[in-house]
Amino acid sequence: MDADENEIVAYLKQFGRQFVSSREICRRAAGKQRYREEPYWANQPLLRLVERAILETDSAGHFRMVPDEKDPRSHKEQKAQHAKKLFEEAGAESSDALCSEVPDTSASQNV
């Protein structure tokens, strides 16, 4: 990869799975001065990165990094599993405590 492609990839890594417009990439990836001198500098490097399958586009022409296929689970799924595990651990501890502390009042209310 050349220097322009490296700047684009470094900029898009900040956004993760979010799509970013090419205009925004041109403005912010290499700085204001580069944008003033050459407003469309990133168009060709973006197309090269898409051809190499480093970036992907949506129907509106916005770009993002290709999601990493090494970890098939998304970040949300990992958080959900962790939360589920914590709730199960906390639920087991609290249900044991509740069962031992609650008195049986069903016999005294049948008057």
CA nearest to 26, candidates 41, 14, 11, 10: 41
82 — pLDDT class (breaks 50, 70, 90): confident
| 37-48 tens-digit pLDDT | 999 999 999 999
DSSP sequence for 48-104: HHHHTTSEEE-TTS-EEEPPPSSS-S-HHHHHHHHHHHHHHHHHHHHHHHHHHH---
Give the residue with greater pLDDT, 92 vs 96. 92
**Residue linked to tokens 């970040």:** 75
| CATH number attached to the domain at 3-65 | 1.10.10
The mean predicted confidence, pLDDT, of the chain is 84
Q: In this predicted structure, what is the pLDDT of residue 90?
A: 81
Confidence band, pLDDT 50/70/90 cuts, at residue 3? very high
Regarding predicted confidence, which is higher, 78 or 62? 62
96, pLDDT greater than 60: no
Q: Is the pLDDT of residue 103 over 80?
A: no
